[in-house]
Structures are given as C-alpha cells and as structure tokens.
Structure 1
Amino acid sequence: MPETATGAFDVVFRARRLIGPNGEMAGSVGVRDGRIAAVEPLDAQLDAVRTIELAGDEVLLPGLVDTHVHVNDPGRTEWEGFDTATRAAAAGGVTTILDMPLNSLPPTIDVGALEIKRKTARDKAHVDVGFWGGAVHGNRTKLRGLHEAGVFGFKCFLPHSGVDEFPPLSPTELDEALRELTGYDALMIVHAEDSEAIEHAPAAHGQAYGDFLNSRPRGAENLAIAQVIELARRIGARVHIVHLSSSDALPMIASARADGVRVTVETCPHYLSFSAEEIPDGATQFKCCPPIREARNRELLWQGLADGIIDCVVSDHSPCTPELKRFDIGDFGVAWGGVSSLQLGLPAVWTQARVRGHGLADVVRWMAHKPADLAGLRRKGAIAVGHDADFCVFAPDDAFVVDVRKLHHRNPVSPYHGRPLSGVVRETWLRGRRIVGADVESSGPRGELLIRQG
C-alpha cells in the first residue's frame, strides 16, 4: 500500500469497497487526530500525510465491537488475560471489547473490584476495553455505585453461573434488581436458562453430545426468556438476552417488541456455524451453555437475524485451560463449558452468511453497528464522520484453515480447529494507527479503557 505527501489529514484511506452507514460504497476516508473527519467519493481530493490504497480484493470495514468477552483477568489469568485476549481481538478485526464481570477474581460486583479490573487491564490492552458490572445475589445496593463508575450495564445469571463467587438471581431478586436499574435506565443483560427446568432435566454425563444437549433443554431457555420479557414489560426495564441458542424464543421476542417491551438479543458465531448432529462424542471443545443445537434450529437463528429479531452477533469468548476441557476422558458432564473464538468471529460468520445470501453490510450491522448501539458506544461501530478511526481491512474472498497454534488467545483450544473459513483480516487500525498488519506502528498496547457515556 503506497503512502504519499503532506496535507490536511493524518491518513486517507482509499477503497473501491467500504462499508459505510448506508451500505457498501467506493470511497475515501480522511482521518485526523484519531477520528474520522471525512467520508467522500473515491476520487475526492483529500490531502494527507499518508494515503493508504486498499488492494482490489480488500474491503474497508469499521472495527468490530464484541460486547461479550470473558477475559478472566485477574485471578484466572491462566485461562486468558488482557494481553492475549486483546491481541486475539485485534487479529480478528475487533477494536473494542466489553469484558464480562465473571470469571475473574474478584468478580466485577462492586466498585473496588472494578478498579482492580481496570488497573489490571490498563497497560495490557491492545484494543479498547470497557466493562460490564455484575448483578448477583446480595449486591443490589452496589449497583448504583458501579453504574456511576461507568460500567456499561449489568450481567446476571438465572441458573448457576459455573463459578460460586458469581451467584445467580432468584426470580424475586431479578425483579428487585430490574426495579433498581430502571431508576437510572441501566441495561440488564441476562443469561436466560431456568434453573428449575435444568434441575429436572437429565444430568449431563459421559461422552455423548446428545446426552449433554438433553441436560440443557431449549424449554429451559424459552421459559427463562418468557420470564425476563414479562418482568421487563411490567417494570419498563431495559433487558438484553445474551447468547440465544433456542430459535423457539424468536416469536415471543418479536411479539414483545411489537408491544413496546425494551428487549434486545444476541447470538454467537458457534450457534450459527455448528450443529449438534456433527459434534463427535467426547469433543468437549464444543461444550457451551446454552448448548449448540440442531441444524434446523441453526437455520431458524439465521432467519431471526435476517428478520431483525436477533440484533447482534458477539463471541461469548469463554476460554479455559486445556485440562478443564477434560480431553482425557471427553466427559461433557465435567468439562468446562465455553467456546474460544474471539479471533475467528468475523470469518466464521462471513463463511456462513455468504452462502445464505447475506452481504458484508449485514455482517457489519450485526458485529459492529448493533453491538455499539447496545452498549451506547456512540463513536464506535461505523465508518462515519466523528467516529473513532477504527478499521478492519478484510479480504472476503481469501480463505484459510484454522490452526489453534496460530491463534493469539492464551490456550490452544477451539472447536474451529481444522475448519476452513472464508475471509482474512489483513490489517486492523485503532484510532488511526495500524495495530495488525505489515509495518505495525506501535511497539506496545494502544487500547484505552472505556466508560459508559451519559
């Protein structure tokens, strides 16, 4: 990519294809002081210190926004960490992540824990990082302090979270927490599976994926989502359903929205990529909760995206050490549940989207615009004047085979290993600086710690 002459902008990008707020176009993007200062036609005369000419097979995308990442740092840094997680994010074209309030120690359930988290991340972040707070049994009086300290909202569990230090909310506690958060219009994001339904399901055990699937029935998910919707309707709360896996819930979500209930929903690349029928016995790298379901269910999730019922696609990157996946015995009942995929979200989704007739503008809406909107990140997720100059240079027709040894997250575990994917991230730019690609412009982390605005 050639670089030229001095002028009004720090950098100008020229791309035959870029995804702007109104879809795909040919254009030039002028950057000044880390922000987008101009979006003009391709042949516009924009003088700059440097001009970046994208190759003919490349598309300029806004940097992706992943609002569902478990960094686990501090406390379980052997599972992941801010250095490795944000390197993986950058390599995948993700320029902003929001860190979940568990599985770090301490969990982010009070202001003191948030400050520990920020101190841990401050000198390790290769992309911009914000934080969710946690709503757990016994911390309702701590929520306002976390809100005022700038968390982007609050995560709660209805079933057991998998770690004892992040206890779930009972139905009464969820009601009380939603009433508290509605007082300052904070967002509650919910792991929605009904704990009683799970308790009455067959216990997870052994190597057969079908047995594990039966232990987390879609009915548990559907029932919990119905309960959350009705509370949101009654209280007027803002709620967001995380990692939707059951397509059964889509009609009730659409109906609630039509009634004015403030509910949004996400799904994840693994629910859109894999199907229960293809998961081998003992392949615990595929274990996550709620689980990957059948192929028919996957296609209905894709339809939910096409219909606009599902708002966004985020990773739910939830890594652990290889030992915790129990590859030695392949037992789904005792293996840790979580999929490691932070670096692979864009090619994984694009691989599946393109064969279903979706374009890159759709993928950008699901993985950049909508997650930024969800979190209130007003300067992220779009190539638009005033936004941060965060970009992903993507080659949609290139391809590669996933090798976990080449991924940047800490432990070499992922269900995508050996899978061919379409689309290669060639460069990532953060506020006008190249952080991935040839001639990387910084020797250390350049990410900033974000707080909720307004």
Structure 2
Amino acid sequence: MTYPDLVIRSERVLTSQGFIPAAVCVSKGVITAILPIDSVIEGPPETDAAAPFDTIPLRQVRLALDEVLIPGLVDTHVHVNEPGRTEWEGFASATLAACAGGVTTIIDMPLNSVPPTVSVTALECKRRAAGAKASVHVGFWGGAIPANLGTLRELHDAGVFGFKAFLSPSGVDEFPHLSLEQLEAAATEIAAFDGQLLVHAEDPDVLDAAVNGGGDGYRDFMASRPPEAETTAIEHVIEIVQRTGVRAHILHLSSARSLPLLAAAKAAGLPITAETCPHYLYFAAECIPDGATSYKCCPPIRDEANRALLWAGLGDGTIDFVASDHSPATRELKLGHGGDFGLAWGGISGLQLSLAAVWSAGRARDVALEQVVEWMSAAPARFVGLAGLDGAAGLEGRAGKGAIAVGADADLVAFAPDEPFLVDAATLRHKNKVSAFDGALLVGRVRTTWLAGLEVFSVHDDVAGPPTGALLVR
C-alpha cells in the first residue's frame, strides 16, 4: 500500500482543469493523488513496524488563501558558468536563486564555463561540478563550435539535450561562432540523430555594418545590433532547416520583425521553435537611461511597440515559451566601464525574478496566470522532453515536469500572485548582486518551493539543506 508522505491543500491548485480546490498527495517525490480539498488523508500507521511500506511521517500543509499551487518552472536557458568562471556564478548560487524564484529545473548552457561543454570530457566535468551543489534539477546543453563538428553524436549519446551554436561572436574566445557553411554542417550532423539545434541568431555581417563607437547612449547600443541582424540570421536558419530537416530553436528572440518569418515557417510545417525572455517582455527601451549597462544584453531590449508585438507573438503561438537567459557576470564586468555599452558585459541576471517579471507584465495585459505557467513550465518541459508522467526515479532525475497531475514529479510552488514587492538586488541569491530589475516594483511572490516533495525554499525561514537536485539526461 502506498501512503502519502506530503499533502498540500490549497483553494487554488493549477491542474488540467484550471485552478481548483484540491489536496495534492505526494509519495517519494511523485504526485499520487489529487483529492477534494478537505479529504481525510492518513499516513502509514506508526505502530506496525512490520508493515510492507515505508513509515515516513506524513506532513500536511495548507496554503494561505492568497496563495496558489503551481508546478515548478522549467528554465531551459541558464548560464551557470561553472567550472572556470565561478566568480560570475556557480551551481550553488544559481540553483539557490532558482529555488527562490520557483524554478525547479534548469538546463545549463555550454558557455561561459571553462571548458565549454563541447566534448564528453567537458560534460563530465560539468556534471561533477554540479552534482554536489545543485539545489534544483539540472540538465545540460552541448555546444557546436568549429573544432567539434563531426563529433556531436558523442555528446548526444552522453545525454545533452541538444546543441547551441552562434552565428556571430559569442563574447568568449573559447566558444567561437560558426559560419553559415559550418552551421549547415552541424545541422546535417544533428538531424542524422534527430537532435536539437539551438541558434543565437544574429547575422555577423549586419552587426559589422552597424558597429559604432560605443559610449553611454542606449539608443546607440541598440543601433549597433539592429533588428535586421536577427531577421537575416533567422532567414538563414529557416533555409538550413528546409535543406536538412533539423529541429531548430531560435534563442532569446528580441525583434518582433522576425515573427512573420517564424509564423510562415511553422505554417509550412518546418520543425522550428522560438523563445523570448522576461527582460524583453518587461522592459522597453524608452525606460532605459543612458549609461545603465545593467540593461545590456544581446540582442538588445527594444522599444515599447516591439515589446507589444512580442506579447502578441506569445499569444498566437509564434513564440513557444519564455526562458530567462540568465547570464550573470561580476559587478566590474557589468558596471565598471563608466556606463559604456560597448565595453560592459552583455547579459541580464534574472533567474530568481523571471516568474514575477513575466507575471507582472502579463497581468497588466490581462494574461491569465495559467498561461504564464504554460509558457514557463509546461511548454519548456515539453520542449526538452521532460513532460512525461512516468515518475521514474534515479540519478538521471524524473521525467514528469511542468504539470500537477497524478504521476508527475512533486516539483511544486506556492505562489502569491497578488503580493507586490520591491526588488532589492542586494538580497538576491545570485552570486553577484547586479540586476536590471533592481528597484522594480513586481507583483507575485514565491513563498515556498518543493523539489520532489521536499521543501527547498520558504520566505518564512531558511530551509536550505543539503542540495537534493538530480542531474538530468536527455
């Protein structure tokens, strides 16, 4: 007989039926039942030591009336940077920030660590670095660079979720970009084993033609990375998909001018997907002061009209989901160049604040919370193949992310959608206390996070214990 070891009762539990009052029963990290909220639920008898079941004490939790229970978020675009650049971020700090933001699964990008994840040896190095420090579940992307073309199958077989490539310089020398010919060679190779190709889609020729002298002007920075860099690169990616059949994904879509291209490609049945990021949905260029290099990212945050079209692209399905593109750096790299956008590191630290940022901007547009959760939990879980409901435990983790359903993993979040809070970057769990969201008034606070049924974050006390995150393989 299976008895629950955790029951969470809430007036609003997000299920396939929408928000309903329910009691969610959890046993050994898996959701085993969803019952009426006031059901009488008992744990195992304490007196029968010989009974053929584990006698884990039953914990019962009732959420506050202003809280909802949602599945943990799945963030498929996180730069952890360990090993090699742990002064920027590491698995300990990044995954603690994830817990505090309601993110229970991350997929780590192959750069900016040293070495980058471009070989099985480097992947094993990453796994060793993460294994003892991960407070959430962690998977890994591989990288496609000129030097490892022809060997990508080895990384695929070792369990990476796919391969990231750049069409323009990545910003770090150890991860060089691919030419169009090399990108097509990578696509052909990846298509042969039905892998996933991720592309940082900015055309280097367009960027070279738009280069300027830098400085502290935000509009000058925007002009140095124009929308045409994205549209031209995406046109190239679509052509490569047509020729090779590779499954391709456009990372961190910034320019809404690319939406018609993606919509047409999808209508033609091409296997292409796209993501955008919280900072593109929350901020607009009109509100970014000159010299404010905390906002620098590549491609850049664009204007309000563009932002509105990105929201529309999410709404009609042209954009598939939202991922943070958490790309931290030291304070000196981010802010230490006198406000010069040409010299500052390009990346937004937003892992802990992604849910609140997207929900804050979305509710102002009458977007339902369940839709935000779809974009940030269920859809990315499906994208990386972690949305099954088999509940199979092991070092590789479970495969039932993104839903509250019987058989799904008990990666859960108590979220207060109406609670406002003022962001103070100094209190964030990111290693470097720098964020474009510093000082923002957001709505929606994560109050408790459970990972496989274990409480790993609470606003009420410090519950961080030994890291319990699993390492995931494709």
Shorter-chain TM-score range: over 0.9
Mind listing any 5+ residue stretches in structure 1 that lack a counterpart? 1-5
Q: 2:3 aligns with which of 8, 12, 17?
A: 8
Distance 2:439 2:64 in 1: 28
Distance 1:44 1:257 in 2: 46
Distance 1:173 1:188 in 2: 13
1:431 counterpart = 2:452:
yes
Aligned to 2:42: 47
Aligned to 1:344: 353
Cα shift at 1:440: 6.3
Cα shift at 1:359: 1.1
Cα shift at 1:125: 0.5
TM-score for both structures, normalised by structure 2: 0.92
Q: 1:322-341 maps to which residues of 2 (within 5 A)?
A: 322-341=331-350
Contact (CA 8 Å) 2:337, 2:343: kept in 1 or not? Answer: no
SS at match of 2:105: strand
Q: 1:199-348 maps to which residues of 2 (within 5 A)?
A: 199-348=208-357
Letter in 2 for 1:417: D
Letter in 1 for 2:100: A
SS at match of 1:98: strand
1:368 counterpart = 2:391:
no
Cα shift at 1:163: 0.5
Aligned to 1:196: 205
User: How big is each residue's C-alpha offset from its partner over 1:39-78, in whole Å with a ceiling of 9 and x where there is no partner?
Assistant: 2332444334222111100000100000000000010000
User: How big is each residue's C-alpha offset from its partner over 1:207-240, in whole Å with a ceiling of 9 and x where there is no partner?
Assistant: 0000000000000101101111121122111011
Distance 1:21 1:138 in 2: 46
1:397 counterpart = 2:418:
yes
Distance 2:124 2:2 in 1: 42
Aligned to 2:397: none
Aligned to 2:196: 187
SS at match of 1:334: coil
Contact (CA 8 Å) 1:282, 1:327: kept in 2 or not? Answer: no
Cα shift at 1:29: 1.1
TM-score for both structures, normalised by structure 1: 0.96
Contact (CA 8 Å) 1:203, 1:215: kept in 2 or not? Answer: yes
Distance 1:415 1:439 in 2: 27
Cα shift at 1:14: 1.1
Aligned to 1:3: none
Distance 2:415 2:74 in 1: 15
SS at match of 2:5: strand
Q: 1:76 aligns with which of 85, 88, 92?
A: 85
Contact (CA 8 Å) 1:65, 1:95: kept in 2 or not? Answer: yes
Distance 1:353 1:17 in 2: 19
Aligned to 2:129: 120
Contact (CA 8 Å) 2:457, 2:464: kept in 1 or not? Answer: no
Cα shift at 1:439: 6.3
Aligned to 2:429: 408
Distance change >3 Å, CA 439–CA 386, structure 1 → 2: farther
Aligned to 2:70: 61
Contact (CA 8 Å) 2:294, 2:335: kept in 1 or not? Answer: no
User: How big is each residue's C-alpha offset from its partner over 1:406-445, in whole Å with a ceiling of 9 and x where there is no partner?
Assistant: 0000001001101100011000000000000146666211
Distance 1:443 1:87 in 2: 11
Letter in 2 for 1:30: C
SS at match of 2:197: strand
Contact (CA 8 Å) 1:192, 1:224: kept in 2 or not? Answer: yes
Cα shift at 1:38: 1.3
User: How big is each residue's C-alpha offset from its partner over 1:133-187, in whole Å with a ceiling of 9 and x where there is no partner?
Assistant: 0001121122111000000001000000000110111111111111111111100
1:420 counterpart = 2:441:
yes
Residue correspondences, number: 447
SS at match of 2:189: helix
Aligned to 1:131: 140
Distance 1:351 1:264 in 2: 25
